[in-house]
Amino acid sequence: MVAAPESDKVFAGSIPEIYDEYLVPLIFEPYAADLVARLSSRPLTNVLELAAGTGVVTRRLASALPREVSITATDLNQPMLDRAAQVGTVRPVVWREADAMQLPFEDGFFDAVVCQFGVMFFPDKSRAFAEARRVLRPGGVFLFNVWDRILENDFALVVTDALAPMFHGNPPRFMARVPHGYHDRSLIQRDLAQGGFTSRPEIHTVTARSRASSARMAAVAYCQGTPLRSEIEARDESRLEEATRVANDALVKRFGGGAIDGKIQALVVNVEA
């Protein structure tokens, strides 16, 4: 297996702010509401969030769960957690930098482990799943979502296709390779089993709509608020704004001027320890 570029995991510089301002409302908020709704009916004492990013799920957890439920939100990228803490939550949560493949928590401490669109970034998924299993109490739940294939996600597909001709022979493929690269149900089931989960996971397809006030907003979100930016700049750092314009023009051509609306689709996975 070819190792993924380190840039695939880097959310630093201005990326956290752009990610939070543009990408979170564009594609993450509907699925954050979905995850928290699936969790909120369970009896809980301690909840762990992996790959919390800028805190879109964390904020919903803090609002939806009883105040006595402890919430620990982790991410590998401290700049993302800094942004999350700056935005804040309605009640205190614990923010902690942590590697999902080597969690700094004792065995069986959490009732639930939640991860929104972070699993795709784990270099060794079965190892990360084993860590989630280790820190869960018996009967606890591991709840996560992953993006479906890029063909089911309109804006990501249009942006990826539009940028390819800019870099002949070496197109930036981050969106297809990572966010939309882990959607094979049998592979997910196998990785969970290798991570020690013996119960069969429930996997549901959840389709939603992605809405932006303009094509420019979506273009900035993808080209400047994700590690796709690092791919573009690695090829030619002077062409980031050009790439954003190309993405904007392609989105306008496909969806029209003004506010735009496109399909997004993800898989939601629920498995008990």
Residue ranges for the chain with pLDDT beneath 50: 1-3, 7-10, 12
The answer to whether position 63 is within a domain reads yes
Q: Quote the CA–CA distance of 231 and 223 in Å, as a whole number.
A: 9
The answer to whether position 45 is within a domain reads yes
Q: Per the confidence metrics, is the pTM higher than 0.85? A: yes
The answer to whether position 149 is within a domain reads yes
Residue whose C-alpha is closest to residue 225's, from 176, 175, 272, 161: 175
| Cβ atoms within 10 Å of 180's Cβ, excluding its own | 24
The answer to whether position 110 is within a domain reads yes
pLDDT score at 9:
46
pLDDT score at 151:
98
pLDDT score at 35:
97
The answer to whether position 219 is within a domain reads yes
Q: Quote the CA–CA distance of 113 and 132 in Å, as a whole number.
A: 7
List, in sequence order, the alpha helices (H) in 103-214. 125-135, 154-163, 174-177, 185-194
CATH of the domain at 104: 3.40.50.150
pLDDT score at 16:
81
The answer to whether position 1 is within a domain reads no
Say if residues 192 and 133 touch (Cβ distance below 8 Å).
no
Residues spanned by the domain of 134:
6-272
Q: Write out the two tokens for 53.
A: 């990013």
pLDDT score at 17:
86
Q: Quote the CA–CA distance of 44 and 41 in Å, as a whole number.
A: 9
Contacts of 233 (CB under 8 A, 6+ apart): 240
Q: How many domains would you assign to the chain? A: 1
The answer to whether position 169 is within a domain reads yes
- Helices (runs of H) and strands (runs of E) counted in the chain: 11, 7
